[in-house]
């Protein structure tokens, strides 16, 4: 049996918003967006707000990281899955937990105290850099780009 039909995993601390809900979903041809985040999995208000961004034909699931790890391999072949996580640490937990992530789109990581800005939309600290290096060691392609039309950059060259 083959693995889940995982189209892409995106790191975006905003999770589902216009860019993800319209541009990326259409570009990928996804019919299921899985938000893998422990806090959002328990927050129905946030889930409802994110659902409003997506067309009705796109299904969403809001899972904890562990639930994503536990059930991703049970996905039906017809499910074209786009996983969205809040940060690089969530992505690393999924990868190390056995989710077959081989390509990550690094879209948005807000600037905050103690982080350095490496692109117009991505800021990192030492823990983020260590997590990106671990993903790179695990063979994950790390592509920094906001929108599909943009030319991506290997984030490892910017760290």
Residue 78 · residue 8 · CB < 8 Å: no
Residue 82 · residue 25 · CB < 8 Å: yes
Residue 85 · residue 8 · CB < 8 Å: no
Strand partners, 122: 109
Q: How far apart are CA 145 and CA 125, in angstroms?
A: 19
Selection from 10, 11, 20 nearest residue 50 by Cα: 20
Q: Give catalytic status of residue 110 as yes or no.
A: no
Active-site pick, 17, 27, 103, 110: 17
In the chain the first and final C-alpha atoms are separated, in Å, by 38
Cα–Cα distances in angstroms (integers) from residue 67 to residues 42, 94, 99, 124, 148, in the given order: 12, 10, 11, 27, 28
Report, as residue numbers or ranges, the catalytic residues. Answer: 17
């Amino acid at each position: 049996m083959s693995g889940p039909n995982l189209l892409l995993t995106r790191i975006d601390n905003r999770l589902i918003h216009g860019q993800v809900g319209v541009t990326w979903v259409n570009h990928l041809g996804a019919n299921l967006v899985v938000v893998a985040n422990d806090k959002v999995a328990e927050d129905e208000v946030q889930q409802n707000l994110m659902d409003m961004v997506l067309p009705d034909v796109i299904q969403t699931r809001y899972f904890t990281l562990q639930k994503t790890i536990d059930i991703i391999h049970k996905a039906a072949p017809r499910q074209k899955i786009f996983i969205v996580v809040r940060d690089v640490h969530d992505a690393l937990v999924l990868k190390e937990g056995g989710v077959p992530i081989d390509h990550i789109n690094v879209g948005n990581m807000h600037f905050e105290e103690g982080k350095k800005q490496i692109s117009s939309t991505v800021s990192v600290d030492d823990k983020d850099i260590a997590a990106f290096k671990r993903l790179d060691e695990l063979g994950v392609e790390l592509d920094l780009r906001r929108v599909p039309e943009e030319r991506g950059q290997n984030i490892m060259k910017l760290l």
